[in-house]
Amino acid sequence: MTHYSVANIRADFPILAETIRNKPLVYLDNAASCQKPQAVIDSLVHTYSHEYANIHRGVHTLSVKATDRFEAAREKVRGFINAASHKEIIFVRGATEAINLVAQSYGRSQLQAGDEIVISAMEHHANIVPWQMLCQQIGTVLKVAPINQAGELLLDDYLALLSDKTKLVAITHMSNALGSINPVETIIAAAHARNIPVLLDGAQAIPHMSVDVQALDCDFYVFSGHKLYGPSGTGVLYGKQALLEAMPPYQGGGDMIRQVTFAKTEYAGLPHKFEAGTPAIAEIIGLGAAIDYLNAIGMANIAAHEADLLAYATEQALAIQGLNIIGQASHKGGILSFTLDRIHPHDIGTMLDSLGIAIRAGHHCAMPVMDFYGVPATARASFGLYNTREEVDVLMQGIRSLIEVFG
């Protein structure tokens, strides 16, 4: 697609025609979850109407169809992130489950007491708490690479944290609270120079840019389907095959075995070893539909559109007196976190809602980031492929009217 038609794209998302409190919906909470295009909704309806059965276990026609569709979705995910093999794509419930899987399976089997795990000061709780739990369980030590006031990782400090004790780096590709995009190539190269594997939390990055896990050379990459315009309850753990092969299963049950007796169980091969139980079948097929939809538009086109929106919004926000942008990294994705003097972020969220504008107000599951900036919460507008400059205008007008009345 050479011409990016945001009007055509908006027409693909039925919910965008909703009115909220008698105002047209302005949906700017995409970092929390994205809305779904008709193609994804149709995919869910089609599966449940025509092609639904449990997968990987039936010889009957519907089961075979559902299994084929499910495995085709795996292939779509593989292509989308350019993984070398479908065996490296593990379906999970979301980024959170993917990180817990790596912490419990890789962490418990490969790390020992005293080993260090390096994260950053801008992580979502999903990339903090699973590591703290591992530390409590086996005595590993968590090290945190600091950030500067702009919300950028302090690379020298990160490099200084790497040592012979470091056995894993787990860092976000893009911050949900600040929008900062981390220099992941440099982060990975420095870790690999010491043979340290790197997990990238791609929950925020994946909807905004094209991701090539082989070019990045990351060892693990995790993301959630619901932030990628796909159904909730879906997520992906990418892992390099050799690492996944060496890891024990995370959960036991059906679908992840080759042979079970009461004496001994032989596990299935990849990727099924990590997919115990019935997965979100129709939803994962729907995630495949979301990927088809995004591929047809082109991730580079989406990135360019969102970069324009962010630049436009930032320019306007900077012109509003009493508005403080939290997170001004030089390399940023479509997230505008801010506070207003004398107005609590929750009040900003509530008052904007009365104008039909959906933003998130809170700590964004990144309490350490809030502590760093000395704020209890921020208001956050986050952009997606269907947002427009006109919606940014509505947001800014809303903010200006709030300041006039309450500021």
Binding site for ligand 7TS (CB under 6 A): 31-32, 94-96, 124, 126-127, 172, 176, 201, 203-204, 224, 360, 364-365
**Which residue bears the tokens 């030089």?**
330
Half-sphere exposure of 250 (CA within 13 A, CB side): 23
Asked if omega into 271 is within 30° of 0 (cis), the reply is: yes
Residue 222 Cβ vs ligand 7TS, minimum distance, rounded to whole Å: 8
Residue 99 Cβ vs ligand 7TS, minimum distance, rounded to whole Å: 7
CA atoms of 225 and 80, how far apart (whole Å): 12
Cα distances (Å, whole numbers) of residue 177 to 124, 134, 244: 8, 24, 30
**Catalytic residue among 34, 135, 218, 365, which?**
365
Would you call 135 a catalytic residue per the annotation? no
Q: Which residue number, 230 or 403, has a Cβ lying nearer to ligand 7TS?
A: 230
Q: Which residue number, 162 or 203, has a Cβ lying nearer to ligand 7TS?
A: 203
One DSSP character per residue, 187-254 reads: HHHHHHTTT--EEEE-TTTTTTS---HHHHT-SEEEEEGGGGTS-TT-EEEEE-HHHHHHSPPSS-ST
Answer yes or no: are the C-beta atoms of 93 and 305 closer than 8 Å.
no
What amino acid occupies position 41?
Answer: I
Rg of the Cα atoms in the chain: 22
CA atoms of 250 and 391, how far apart (whole Å): 44
CA atoms of 182 and 171, how far apart (whole Å): 8
- DSSP class of residue 102 equals I
Q: Which residue number, 95 or 118, has a Cβ lying nearer to ligand 7TS?
A: 95
Residue 203 Cβ vs ligand 7TS, minimum distance, rounded to whole Å: 3
Q: Which residue number, 265 or 350, has a Cβ lying nearer to ligand 7TS?
A: 350
Residue 388 Cβ vs ligand 7TS, minimum distance, rounded to whole Å: 22
Residue 250 Cβ vs ligand 7TS, minimum distance, rounded to whole Å: 15
Answer yes or no: are the C-beta atoms of 268 and 253 closer than 8 Å.
no
Residue 57 Cβ vs ligand 7TS, minimum distance, rounded to whole Å: 27
Cα-Cα-Cα-Cα dihedral of 39, 45, 51, 56, to 10°? 80
Phi and psi at 362, nearest 5°, equal 155, -160
Q: Which residue number, 233 or 288, has a Cβ lying nearer to ligand 7TS?
A: 233
Residue 358 Cβ vs ligand 7TS, minimum distance, rounded to whole Å: 12
Cα-Cα-Cα-Cα dihedral of 233, 238, 242, 245, to 10°? 0
Q: Which residue number, 273 or 360, has a Cβ lying nearer to ligand 7TS?
A: 360
Phi and psi at 118, nearest 5°, equal -105, 125
Q: Which residue number, 202 or 403, has a Cβ lying nearer to ligand 7TS?
A: 202
- Please list the active-site residues: 365
